[in-house]
Amino acid sequence: MIDKIVERIENYTPIDEKDGFKFESIVKNRNLIAQNHIDNINELPKQEWEEEGEFTHWDDEGRISTYFLCYVDLIGAAVDQTMKSYFGDIKNVFGTVTTTKKGLSYSKKKCPDKPFHSDCLQIALYQKVLPNHTPFLTYASDYDRKLFTPDNCEELQKDNLERYYNELILYQRCWETKLKLANGDPKVLALLCKPDFSEIRKNGFWWKGFPKDIIQRFRGYYV
Using the 8-state DSSP alphabet, how is residue 221 labeled? T
pLDDT at 125: 98
Decide yes or no: CATH 1.20.58 for domain 2-183: no
138/140 Cα distance (integer angstroms): 7
Q: Looking at the chain, which residues constitute the CATH 3.90.320 domain(s)?
A: 2-183
Beta strands in 143-196 (DSSP E): 145-148
Assess contact for 175 and 192: CB atoms under 8 A. Answer: no
Assess contact for 41 and 138: CB atoms under 8 A. Answer: yes
Using the 8-state DSSP alphabet, how is residue 82 labeled? T
* pLDDT one digit per residue (tens) for the chain, 223 residues: 567 777 888 888 888 898 999 999 999 999 999 999 999 999 999 999 999 999 999 999 999 999 999 999 999 999 998 999 999 999 999 999 999 988 999 998 999 999 999 999 999 999 999 999 999 999 999 999 999 999 999 999 999 999 999 999 999 999 999 999 999 999 999 999 988 899 998 888 888 888 899 999 998 888 7
pLDDT at 6: 78
pLDDT at 14: 86
pLDDT at 11: 87
pLDDT at 1: 59
Assess contact for 154 and 137: CB atoms under 8 A. Answer: no
pLDDT at 43: 97
pLDDT at 210: 87
Question: For residue 210, is it left (φ>0), alpha (ψ between -120 and 50) or beta?
Answer: beta
pLDDT at 136: 98
pLDDT at 206: 84
- Specify the DSSP element, H or E, that contains 97: strand 97-100
SS3 content of the chain, % helix, strand, coil (to 5): 45, 20, 35
Q: Residue 176: which residues within 8 A CB-CB, separation 6 or more?
A: 64, 65, 66
pTM over the 0.75 mark: yes
Strand order in the sheet with 47-57: 47-57, 68-78, 86-92, 134-140, 145-148
- The helix/strand/coil state of 74 is strand
